[in-house]
Amino acid sequence: MKNITTLYVDASFSDNRKYSGYGAVLIRNGVKTEFSGEIKGACNSTEAELFGVAEALLFIDSKEEILIYNDNTACVNSINGRKKAPKKSKILNAITIINKFNVKAKWVKGHFNSKENCRADELAKERLFLSEEINFVKNNISIYIATERNDKRVAYSFRVEDNFNTLLFSGHRVIRNSGYGSSIFILSKVIGKPFNVIPDITSIDIFTNEKNILSYLNKLIRMKKRNYVKMNATRLEEGVFNAFNNIKIRIYKTSDDNKLDKLITNAIYALNDK
């Protein structure tokens, strides 16, 4: 009896669909092999499943007869040629690879009486979790803002770091003291720097001694929790609010590493120099 290589493939997605992963279980001559991978860029379920199948096939000899089990009907129909592939680069590239192999696809009910399909799903979820953790670390930044003011002027000193404590930006400036408005101006100027350079920032830790900034950020967090879309605010406030949309914010009044204390000293010097 001719041996047929079987392949189980499944995919998993993050809530925002920015990250996805695939898992595969290959059974060949009675030997089971497991592997998984990351799918970069936003995609739908069919794209992810087909991409996973194409990636898995690269581990197999193209002359083998291969039976693919998958729980996505559109993916199965695309592999069997029953459905015309959309004109999307991800799908077209995947189909081009799949068509080089002697394959047939069979639908299997997801997470139901199929040990290998369930295992492929587990592998996909594990890979997705790893991808999200890596991207969270890469796109998490820390912002330190210290201010010192008198009746006429306010000096601010700032420092922006990535999650590995690498300095990205720093500096100080003295502006006219307009109370609350100057505080929001400072915040908008400082947060604008990393947003212009780092894509897909996921979370920000903000350390500041400025009471107005702390007050505004706490207000912003409360509004985000209540899913407020609009608020009675100035353009600067709205700009900050929009910048922080879909980003996790944590606020601290002090920092354990004395970085904020050093910035406070810098702000005092800057104010006295003017």
Q: What does the mean pLDDT of the chain come to?
A: 78
Supply the range of the domain harboring residue 170: 139-273
- Per-residue confidence at 229, pLDDT binned at 50, 70, 90? very low
List, for residues 58-106, the tens digit of each pLDDT value: 777 777 889 999 988 988 988 888 666 556 556 677 888 888 888 999 9
List, for residues 180-226, the tens digit of each pLDDT value: 888 888 888 887 766 655 656 778 889 999 988 888 888 777 766 65
Domain total of the chain: 2
Q: Which of 195, 119, 135 is nearest to 14 (CA)?
A: 135
Q: In this structure, what CATH number is given to the domain that contains residue 15?
A: 3.30.420.10
Judge if 95 and 216 occupy the same domain. no
Distance CA 212, CA 209 (A): 9
Distance CA 64, CA 44 (A): 29
Judge if 147 and 221 occupy the same domain. yes
Per-residue pLDDT at 87: 60
Judge if 155 and 49 occupy the same domain. no
Tokens linked to 192 = 């604008």
Judge if 112 and 197 occupy the same domain. no
Judge if 24 and 121 occupy the same domain. yes
Judge if 114 and 208 occupy the same domain. no
